Amino acid sequence: MLKVRTRFAPSPTGFMHIGGIRTALFAYLIAKKHKGIFVLRIEDTDQKRYVAGSLDIIYETLKDLGLNWDEGPDIGGPYGPYIQSERKKNYQFYAKQLIDEHKAYYCFCQDERLKLLKEKAARAKRPYKYDGHCLKLSNDEVENKIAAGEEYVIRFKMPRQGTTTFKDRVYGDIRVNNEELEDLILIKSDGMPTYNFANIIDDHEMAITHIVRGNEYISSTPKYVLIYQALNWPVPEFIHLPIIKKEKDSDKKLSKRDSDATIADLKEKGYLNQALINMLVLTGWSSGSEREIFSLEELTNLFDIKGIGKGNAIFDIDKLNWLNNHYLRLLSVDELYQFVYPFLDEAYDLSDKDEAWLKELILIYQKQLSYGREIILLTSLFFKDEFKIDDEAALILKDKAVINLLFLFREEIEGIREWTIDNIVNVIESVKSKVKLTGKALFMPIRIKVTGECHGPELPKTIYLLGKEVVLNRLAK
Q: Give the single-character DSSP code of 35.
A: T
pLDDT at 120 over 60: yes
pLDDT at 410 over 90: yes
1-72+242-329: CATH number: 3.40.50.620
Which amino acid, one-letter code, is at 435?
Answer: V
Between 463 and 49, name the one with better pLDDT: 463
**Model pLDDT for residues 194-245, shown as the tens digit of each residue:** 999 999 999 999 999 999 999 999 999 999 999 999 999 999 999 999 999 8
pLDDT at 253 over 70: no
Q: Give the single-character DSSP code of 19.
A: H
Give the three-state DSSP class for 200. Answer: helix
Find the mean pLDDT for residues 366-384: 96
pLDDT at 336 over 60: yes
- Look at residues 379, 347, 387 and name the one whose alpha carbon lies nearest to residue 363: 379
Is residue 406 within 8 A of residue 472, CB to CB? The reply is: no
Of all helices (H) and strands (E), which one includes residue 334? helix 333-347
6 C-beta neighbours (distance < 10 Å), count = 27
Domain ranges of the chain: 1-72+242-329, 87-241, 391-476
Find the mean pLDDT for residues 344-359: 96
pLDDT of residue 389: 80
Class of domain 87-241: alpha beta
Highest mean pLDDT among 47-56, 179-188, 383-392: 179-188
**Model pLDDT for residues 274-288, shown as the tens digit of each residue:** 999 999 999 999 999
Catalytic (active site) residue 256:
yes
pLDDT at 248 over 80: no
pLDDT of residue 45: 80
* Cα–Cα dist 442/452, whole Å: 15
Is residue 443 within 8 A of residue 403, CB to CB? The reply is: no
* Cα–Cα dist 111/416, whole Å: 85
* Cα–Cα dist 206/447, whole Å: 65
pLDDT band of 246, cuts 50, 70, 90 = confident
Mean of pLDDT over the chain: 93
pLDDT of residue 380: 94
pLDDT band of 418, cuts 50, 70, 90 = very high
* Cα–Cα dist 81/399, whole Å: 77
- Alpha carbon 109 to chain centroid distance? 40
User: CB burial class (10 A; 0-12, 13-18, 19+) of residue 203?
Assistant: buried
pLDDT of residue 290: 92
CA distances to 225, 231, 237, 243 from 163, rounded to whole Å, are 11, 18, 19, 26
Query: Is the domain 391-476 a CATH 1.10.10.350 member?
Result: yes
Which amino acid, one-letter code, is at 379?
Answer: T
Same fold, 87-241 and 391-476: no
Catalytic residue (choose from 145, 256, 267, 353): 256
Is residue 132 within 8 A of residue 183, CB to CB? The reply is: yes
pLDDT of residue 329: 98
